[in-house]
Structure 1
Amino acid sequence: MAPAARILILLCFFSITSELSCRAFVLPDAPGFRETNDVSIVSSFVPVGQAAPAECKEQARIFVQLLASLPRPHSWHWVLICDGAGWRKFLELSGRAETENIIASTDLLGRTTYIEGAKLLTNRSLNPEPKKVVAHELAHIWLGINDEADAKKLTEFLVRGFPENAFVLEAGR
């Protein structure tokens, strides 16, 4: 079996001081390569074995649509925490304060991303647009780093296309 085709992208930005900063990453280019992501729904109000509430299902539907519209890594786990109590428990267990304004968190070593599902449905003026949240976590994944500044640059590319001050080299097709 032939290996999956991949696209190597080198994303470079010029800073205000005219320094060139580049990051290289690989995106999959074969439909089958992207099909091994799994999405779990977690709700603190639903006993094990019971169906997820309609609101959780709607959050999952929106999330899966967003994820399908973006380049995804091979074999990644996505956990959609669909209620505030569950998200607060996640923050506590991950050593963060409940007051921190965190909408998603990616564990690069564990190949898992946790997303506060309620933020996918709530007031867009108070929260970042959902696609930007998902793209930002994907940026961390593709770059393999926790650095927020670099992730924000790639997020912009994933959401809107190439920024004016970036150029891309494509290879490996």
Structure 2
Amino acid sequence: MSWNDFHQRQQALAETLDSARRDLSAAFDTVPTPFRDTGELLAALQHKWMQQLTGRVEVALDDTEDAPHDDRVKAVTMAWRHTVNANPGLRAALDVHSDDPTLAEATAREHRMLAIAAGLAEEHEPAQDITRVGRAFLKLLRATPEPGERARPSGLRKLIPSL
């Protein structure tokens, strides 16, 4: 990929996210050049999300390592929330397309990364189990309000069957 291609892709992603902020339902009506289809565009958006999330998780874990109480779950939770707050359009665009098969493996990798980073699973465990733990952890993150936010009506009862 040339620098021109890279910049063209970055510009197309920025335009898509800008469009998603204005009208999420219409943001994917047309696929911008240089992307061939919605799947390729979604894969690029997922990659962008993972770059942001992974960087924040790594920094949070480094900061937690030096803390007196090694709370990896809290560190990963805060990193995920900071990433969502810094990229609301990106997260919303991916959430709207969460059932797209193109995102299945990348989403599973994200779930595994979250589970392992939070210390809820070990790398040597079966990938399917790690993915399941990460998916449950993410559901819990989404269901639990941020400090100062009112509780949402979902809660743990919806998570228990998925474990």
Greater share of strand residues, 1 or 2?
1
Greater share of helix residues, 1 or 2?
2
Same fold (TM over 0.5): no
TM-score between the two structures when normalised by the length of structure 1: 0.28
TM-score between the two structures when normalised by the length of structure 2: 0.29
Q: Which has the higher contact order (CA 8 A, sep 6+)?
A: 1
